[in-house]
Structure 1
Amino acid sequence: MPLQSDSVATPTINRPRLPKHAPRVVAVDARSLTQTGKGVPRFLAETLRELASQDALKLILFSNRPLHPGHALPPIETVIDTTWARVPGSLWVMARLNTLALQAGADTIWGPAHLLPRRRADLRSVLTVHDLVHRIMPESMGTWNRRIAKWLVEPSIHRADRIVTVSVATRDDVLLLVQPARRDIDVVYLGTRTLSPNEVAITRTKITPDAPYLFSLGSIEPRKNIDGLLRCFKRLQTHCPTLSLRLTGAHSWGASATLAAIERNDACHLLGFLSDTELAAQMAGARAFIMPSHYEGFGLPVIEAIGLAPIIAADIPVFRELGQFIDGIHFVDFTDPDAAAADIAAFLATNPTPAKFVNGGSELFQWRTTARRYAEIFLADCAPLHP
């Protein structure tokens, strides 16, 4: 039976104040760190790495499965609840996380990936919302994930003491679609590690393409619009016959038709798993990095391509938001493949240079900035902080 949502109005809870000089103990739902990859695992690992140096915070990681060793986190206390390893992670959060957090002496609980356990008067809660795919593109999700989002994510949003979204676009979606009465949502952007000019030069030496290519990074799933990119690229080949397309990303559900379409075009190349160094090299060697998504909560690869390649992005709200801080991003409407192909061909004919940050973006989109904002939120009382 679906779990019922809490009331939209957030009740006032009187919690004991911390003793002077005592660190705030934050219990972190670390299930995302059981896997590697971009998105939430990258966000959580990088933010924790920066937060670990905060003397005013004590972080404790909780999971019902072992964390992936590839994250190379600094020493942070970690609790693996192995007796519950066979339970789906979302249900483990609801059944166990509050108890484990209190046993460890936590006063704050952080759900970095959309989910919080039931409200407790002795635990302050902070929730990170990355997107609202289940509301905006439910058809792009599997049945189980869609049901979990409906039954657990939206109630988590309602009961959180503090909500953090990764973009203004996602904040606006939360206000429009889930909790219109709430006005205390913090926006904290994700980060990247900016390469120095020397590092970029070295990265470029790692790849020597024999022909020009576009590079795309994203899961093979409906929301990423790889099908739309393939239709556009087929027409683009009439404008740029020597151009090829390189793609990499996990294969999600419903990917078989897309994979078959990639195989049918000899100029399309599906790359296997790439390390961060290999990804940077592919971006640096490309005529442009291209991201055709129908919907994103943020779009981390766009930020990671800065300094390495010109960027071609779908004309969607969150990319327009990020575009305020980027010189060298070109927006394309992928709904019309012919027009999109002509638009991209004209952009490439200008011999664009790699995108760069403007308007303070080089400092705003750093993991240390992301961590600083989260530290402020963890250490504050329940009143919102605004950028």
Structure 2
Amino acid sequence: MNVGFDGIIFGLQRLGGISTYAWELLRRAADDDGVALTLGLPAALSSNRAAALAALAVTQARESLPVGLSRYLPHRLRQPVSHSTYYRSPLGGGKSVITAYDFVYERYRSGLARTVHSTQKRRACQAADIILCISENTRQDLLAACPAISPDRARVTPLAADTTAFYLPEGRRNDLQDHVVFVGQRAGYKRFDLAIAAVARSGLCLAIVGPDLTPDEQAILAAALPHRHRHLGRVTDPELRDIYAGAFAFLYPSDYEGFGLPILEAQACGCPAVVANRSSFPEVGGTAALYAAEQSAEAYATQLLSLADSATRAAVISAGLANAARFNWDRTYALTRAAWGDLA
């Protein structure tokens, strides 16, 4: 089976959920004797996996145009089946697979950025023979946004935690036992404001993993959590594993995500997850996460404080480990390969 894999995402993301997804598929396809893969890459890579990509035993083709331009153009892979990692259709036709991740732009962006992104996404998905959605929630968003797409063309291929990086290590390796962890970007719909208020109400401390704090964030934290917050910066996966394993809980109050991979990563490390009861989170966290009754500081604080009971905490950790194990990249690849095979 000859497949063209459009790796445009490796020129758009240094690291992140989409590039992790693309990498997990790629490395399995490279070891698959039944797949002859041609990997299309942008002229310049921003990915932290540049060396690993170069070492893959697959045919590779580089684009010549700058990624800032080529990202909006059709890809030129001419295999019978192609799969784009970020909303590009094949030039000249051919069977195509597109992955749909979320509808953040449609919900939270405005102006030209929203128009350009949404138009490209809609056209690519409508032209694709199969659209792979990373959650059922994203699939429903897709069908609502693009009613011309037949439901049988949209399939769910969930993400997974990397179990070589995220697992329960032996013993605690930090002093975060009374800290609630917030990971990633913090603006707008991520609801960092809600995390601060919830932790302040709970009496616990807040550990922040991600970009540098803005002056406004520093001022808010100093007022709401004086001497009860720590900014840990950007960390490696092994460092994040140890943070999760040693922390009191992981807090995920986001209003919306396409999947919610940090939930699984935290659970895989034995960290109780307290999350929003919305978007894709119930299908990811299953019955193992603790869900806030509403998007309020009180609701999150209530769930956080329930973990002070040792029996409750042990049960949530055990359920989380089992839940994280429900998802694995081999299954994601098998579902993706089946989609390629249906078009070959």
Scaled to the shorter chain, the TM-score interval is 0.7 to 0.9
Q: CA deviation at 1:193?
A: 2.9
* TM-score using structure 1 length: 0.77
Q: CA-atom RMSD, angstroms?
A: 2.8
Which blocks of at least 5 consecutive residues in structure 1 are unaligned?
1-22, 238-242, 383-387
Which residue matches 1:248?
209
Which residue matches 2:243?
282
Q: Cα 1:180–1:96, aligned 2, differ >3 Å: closer, same or farther? A: closer
Give the one of 303, 310, 315 matched to 2:277. 315
State whether residues 163 and 186 of structure 1, in contact with CA within 8 Å, keep that contact through their aligned partners in structure 2: yes
Matched residues in 1 for 2:275 and 2:14: separation? 25
Q: Cα 1:298–1:376, aligned 2, differ >3 Å: closer, same or farther? A: same
State whether residues 126 and 149 of structure 2, in contact with CA within 8 Å, keep that contact through their aligned partners in structure 1: no
Does residue 352 (structure 1) correspond to residue 309 (structure 2)? The answer is: no
CA displacement 1:62-105 (0-9 Å, x = unmatched): 21313535362433333232x412x51xx41443523xx13xxx
Give the one of 60, 64, 80 matched to 1:78. 60
Which residue matches 2:119?
151
* TM-score using structure 2 length: 0.86
Matched residues in 1 for 2:124 and 2:135: separation? 18
Matched residues in 2 for 1:228 and 1:248: separation? 16
Q: CA deviation at 1:232?
A: 1.6
CA displacement 1:23-81 (0-9 Å, x = unmatched): 31323233335643231111111221122111222222321313535362433333232
Which residue matches 1:186?
155
CA displacement 1:285-314 (0-9 Å, x = unmatched): 011111111101101111111232111111
Which blocks of at least 5 consecutive residues in structure 2 are unaligned?
none
Opposite residue 348 of structure 1, the aligned amino acid is A
Which residue matches 1:58?
36
Opposite residue 57 of structure 2, the aligned amino acid is P
What are the equivalent positions in structure 2 for 1:89-168 lying under 5 Å apart?
91-95=69-73, 97-98=75-76, 101-102=77-78, 106-113=79-86, 115-117=87-89, 120-121=92-93, 123-138=94-109, 143=111, 145-168=113-136
Matched residues in 1 for 2:105 and 2:187: separation? 14
Does residue 376 (structure 1) correspond to residue 338 (structure 2)? The answer is: yes
Q: CA deviation at 1:228?
A: 1.2
In terms of Rg, which structure is larger?
A: 1
Matched residues in 2 for 1:196 and 1:68: separation? 18
What are the equivalent positions in structure 2 for 1:358-369 lying under 5 Å apart?
362=325, 364-369=326-331
Matched residues in 1 for 2:20 and 2:106: separation? 24
What are the equivalent positions in structure 2 for 1:179-328 lying under 5 Å apart?
179=147, 181-184=149-152, 185-194=154-163, 200-202=168-170, 204-205=171-172, 207-209=173-175, 211-237=177-203, 243-250=204-211, 257-264=216-223, 265=225, 266-307=227-268, 308-324=270-286, 326-327=287-288
Opposite residue 209 of structure 2, the aligned amino acid is T
CA displacement 1:247-291 (0-9 Å, x = unmatched): 112469xx6533542354331212111111000000000111111
SS in 2 for 1:245: strand
Matched residues in 2 for 1:135 and 1:294: separation? 14
State whether residues 28 and 112 of structure 1, in contact with CA within 8 Å, keep that contact through their aligned partners in structure 2: yes
Matched residues in 2 for 1:295 and 1:41: separation? 20
Opposite residue 297 of structure 1, the aligned amino acid is G
Matched residues in 1 for 2:46 and 2:100: separation? 22
CA displacement 1:138-159 (0-9 Å, x = unmatched): 36xxx55423222211111111
Opposite residue 188 of structure 2, the aligned amino acid is P
Q: Cα 1:247–1:359, aligned 2, differ >3 Å: closer, same or farther? A: closer
Opposite residue 82 of structure 2, the aligned amino acid is I
SS in 1 for 2:233: coil
Give the one of 27, 33, 43 matched to 1:49. 27
